[in-house]
Amino acid sequence: MLGLTKEIAVVKEPGDSGDIYNSFLDVEEIDVADMGEGDVCFNRDGKLVRPKRLPSGLYQFRQGTGHERCVFDCIGALNAGADLLWIETAIPTVHEIAGMMNDVRKVHPDAKLVYNNSPSFNWTLNFRQQTYDSMAEAGKDVSAYVRDNLMSAEYDNTELSAIADERTRTFQADTAREANVFHHLITLPTYHTTALSVDNLAKEYFGEQGMLGYVKNVQREEIRQGIACVKHQNMSGSDMGDDHKEYFAGENALKAGGAKNTSNQFS
């Protein structure tokens, strides 16, 4: 939930949506004599206030208003006719998402949420730290763990890690149930999957494994799992191209396919 804005709302009467929006701004009370050249100031409850402005020109919201602002914006969007809501959170936590949506649903009981299971989150660290905190709160001994170092592989086979992984596994179902999440999406999963697999392939192909690095971990698995891309010629449209050539050139067509085509090895 972003803590900055470039907007100061227009207020037509006390208590309207513009007034509520401006109430979230971090301001300081000033005298007219304190106004600088180009300052933006406004009246709040009969007092002259100046929103705190960063060198970037953006204004700050008051600390701790993220939940309130999100609920306010969601209700405003639904009032304006939105079908689905999208909110972002600093970390993936079921109770935070549910808390905001519960407040929204007091006004709009059928409000539905789209949530991004973003790779920008460090899911392992976040859920291990949440599990650490809940274990500590429950009075369990967490002396074997260093909270700031829970990303370490040394904790992979621990009770804490198992609980955290289970919470991660059920995150979609939990938020759907608790926060009426209508649609879960994940941005950039193919980007990260490709980056990891290509990096690992390069290490093996140019290392001791050589060609076996590709054959064992890529092609062999493609064949055994029935992945269509193993026949990359077909996937690139060579069959359609051959049909086109044959239609116009008949037996004189120079086709990419044929009985001896390498893709037939994968039949």
Task: Return averaged pLDDT per consecutive 10 residues of the chain, 267 residues in all.
Answer: 83 91 93 88 91 91 92 95 91 94 95 94 97 98 98 97 98 95 93 96 97 95 91 70 60 57 56
Find the DSSP H helices in 89-183.
94-105, 123-137, 159-169, 171-179
Dihedral sign, Cα of residue 8, residue 14, residue 15, residue 17: negative
Residue 211: what pLDDT? Answer: 97
Written as one letter, the residue type at 120 is: S
The full set of domain ranges for the chain reads: 1-63, 65-187, 196-266
Give pTM, 2 decimals: 0.78
Query: Which of 161, 172, 99, 87 lies closest to 131 in space, CA to CA?
Result: 161
Angle at 73 between CA 67 and CA 74, to 5 degrees: 90
The b-or-e profile of 153-164 (16+ CB within 10 A means b, else e) is eebeeeebbebb
Q: What is the pLDDT of residue 189?
A: 94
Q: What is the number of other CB atoms lying within 10 angstroms of the CB of residue 234?
A: 17
pLDDT at residue 37, rounded to an integer: 87
Strands 27-29 and 42-44: unpaired
Quote the crossing angle between the two packed helices 171-179 and 94-105, to the nearest 10°: 20
